[in-house]
Structure 1
Amino acid sequence: MSIYQHFRPEERDFINQVMNWKAYVEEVYAPKLTDFLDPREQQIVKMIIGQQMEVKWEFFGGSVYTERKRALLYPEYYLSEDSDYKINLYEIQYPKKFISLSHRDVLGSLMSLGLRREKFGDIVIVGDRMQFYCAEEVGEYVRLQLQTVGRANIQLLEQPLTEGIAYEDLWHETAVSVSSLRLDAVIASIFKLSRQKAQSLISSQLVKVNWTTIENTSFECGTGDTISVRGFGRGKLFSIEGKTKKEKWRISVGRQK
């Protein structure tokens, strides 16, 4: 039985990477630190590594609130510490009285530095405070190169991880019935849109499932999928409860508050 049959075709490359990480720990008998992983990638790591004794895994993204985390795979003898994850935290100082900045502004400016998204963890905005986590190995480069965000000149203040802004990831959860588990049907139910509107958003490349752009309206959603729609926010398929007497799928979905 192939391990790939339990996952989607587009996840094959990441699965191979996880198996290579596992093999490294087994052969070298030393820990392996990854870049930042999104929640779906973290789930894949858990499923592949499992609960075996030879290789252990833990995740840390800088605080207990973070969504994106680095994984540490290590042999059974190893005792991990937060410092093993090599994460820097930066707070963005900008003229708050005159300019408003968004998550998109920060992410766009970070991506303009020529680094991969995987080198950055969460971008946290609470009120007018803005922070982001990044991999220690690129921290000094980011600190020197990031001088503007959006239209604002900024300064970066490195903070200890204990100073990370606390925030809550709140979801409004509800149970709905859908004719199928197709992406367009699930989007329509979560965001209260017509099926036609959902299809238009997908074909316009405005929809991501588990942080990957999906253009196929018939893409089948599964338990745990996070769905983001540009301009509408994020939703999640928490569980699939089964079919009703009318052959509709009963699902539990959430929309981020």
Structure 2
Amino acid sequence: MKPGIYEHFHQDEREFVDRAWEWVANAGQYHEVKLTDFLDPRQRFILETLVNRHPDVHAAFEGGYADAERVRAIIAPDYRELDGEDFKIKVLSITSGDQKLLELEHGDYMGSILGLGIKRSKIGDIHVIESGCHAVVSEEIGSFLNLNLSQVHRVHVMTELLPMDKLQAAETKLETMDITVSSLRLDGIASDAHRISRTKIVVPIKAGRCRVNWKVEEDPSTNLKEGDVVSIQGMGRFAVLEIGGLTKKGRYRVKVGKYV
């Protein structure tokens, strides 16, 4: 690890930085090829940063479809061609004859999968669709889920493993709202977006349960900008869609979109 690399990342990210650098170093020094679990966008950024620091290593990423948020990576010596590599990804189709299936949400499916003892890193994007759910999963746990996932939030379900070309990706839905804030501080925008007091929103932020662009952010005074994605554990997430001009009272006009 080159001196000073840690200063570019949050302290909570050091464990992943160490692991990712080991993958990169092994690819460069020992010609190893590494297929990772699913990475979130922040982890992908960290890995890409480290790969770019090594002259003899490159990486490819795949999450099953063009706009995938969570992806697997293959890290390899730069002489190895990565086009056509098998990222070992499957689609777990979850359906039911019970009409209550239509009431299930992303968190219901996620909770039931994780409840079987599966690590989050083995699961890619989860798509809630009209017929149920298409979950992108790593091939190595696909058969286990297909055999053992029989219920989602008290709804009995049927499962089937499908190839990636059968994936039905859900369209991202945002509930937009226009707010006015005295500043672009994280706590101010987040409190309005979630309709709770600033005093209450500060608690999870300072506790390390808030991420801005998938990076832990513990400073409530951090200024947000257009395009930022904010997630707070237990509250969901929102995106800053637009920052407009000032009102006559000097407040910022901000359009946010809550993920639904």
TM-score, normalised to structure 1's length? 0.79
The aligned counterpart of 2:170 is 167
Cα separation, partners in 2 of 1:91 and 1:200, compared to 1, 3 Å: same
Which residue of the other structure, out of 223, 228, 231, is the alignment partner of 1:228? Answer: 231
Matched residue, 2:41:
39
Alpha-carbon distance change, 238 to 17 in structure 1, aligned in 2, over 3 angstroms: farther
Contact 1:56 1:73 in 2 (8 A): yes
Matched residue SS, 2:109: helix
Which deviations, in whole Å up to 9, do the C-alpha atoms of 1:19-38 show, x marking residues without a partner? 00101111231321100011
- Deviation sequence 1:182-229 (CA, Å, 0-9, x none): x42342355465422422554798755566887x56484777763224
- Range 80-89 or range 199-208, more displaced: 199-208
What is residue 89 of structure 1 aligned with on the other side?
Answer: 91
The residue aligned with 1:27 is 29
Change (3 A) 1:231 1:25: closer
2 CA distance for matches of 1:58 and 1:221? 33
Question: Mind listing any 5+ residue stretches in structure 2 that lack a counterpart?
Answer: 244-250
Q: Give SS of 1:156's match.
A: strand
Q: Cα distance 1:221–1:150, how it changes in 2: closer, same or farther (>3 A)?
A: farther
Aligned partner (choices 133, 137, 151) of residue 136 of structure 2: 133
Query: In structure 2, which of residues 157, 181, 192 is the aligned counterpart of residue 154 of structure 1?
Result: 157
Aligned mate of 1:2, from 1, 4, 7: 4
8 A contact 1:92–1:155 mirrored in 2:
yes
Q: Return the alpha-carbon distance in structure 1 between the equivalents of residues 234 and 97 of structure 2.
A: 26
Tell me the residue number matched to 2:67.
Answer: 65
**What is the CA distance between 1:96 and its match in structure 2?**
4.2
CA distance in 2, matches of 1:189, 1:157: 41
Q: How many residues align?
A: 251
Aligned to 1:121: 124
Indicate how the Cα distance of structure 1 residues 69 and 202 shifts in structure 2: closer, same or farther if over 3 A, else same: same
Cα distance in structure 2, aligned partners of 1:150 and 1:163: 25
Q: Structure 1 pair 95/212, CA: closer, same or farther in 2 (3 Å)?
A: farther
- Deviation, 1:66, is 1.8
Superposed CA deviations along residues 40-98 of structure 1, whole A, max 9, x for unmatched, are: 11111111212754111121111113211111111122222455211111110212424
Kept in 1, the 8 Å contact 2:88–2:138? The answer is yes
Sort the Cα spacing of 1:236 and 1:52 in 2 relative to 1 into closer, same or farther, 3 A. farther
**Structure 1: runs of 5+ lacking an equivalent:** 241-247
RMSD: 3.7
What is the rounded CA distance, in whole Å, between the counterparts of 1:112 and 1:126 in structure 2?
21
Q: State the Cα deviation string for residues 99-152 of structure 1 (Å, max 9, x = none).
A: 432211111111111121101111101234311011111111121111111111
1:159–1:29 distance in 2 versus 1, CA, 3 Å:
same
Q: 21-30 or 92-101: which moved more?
A: 92-101
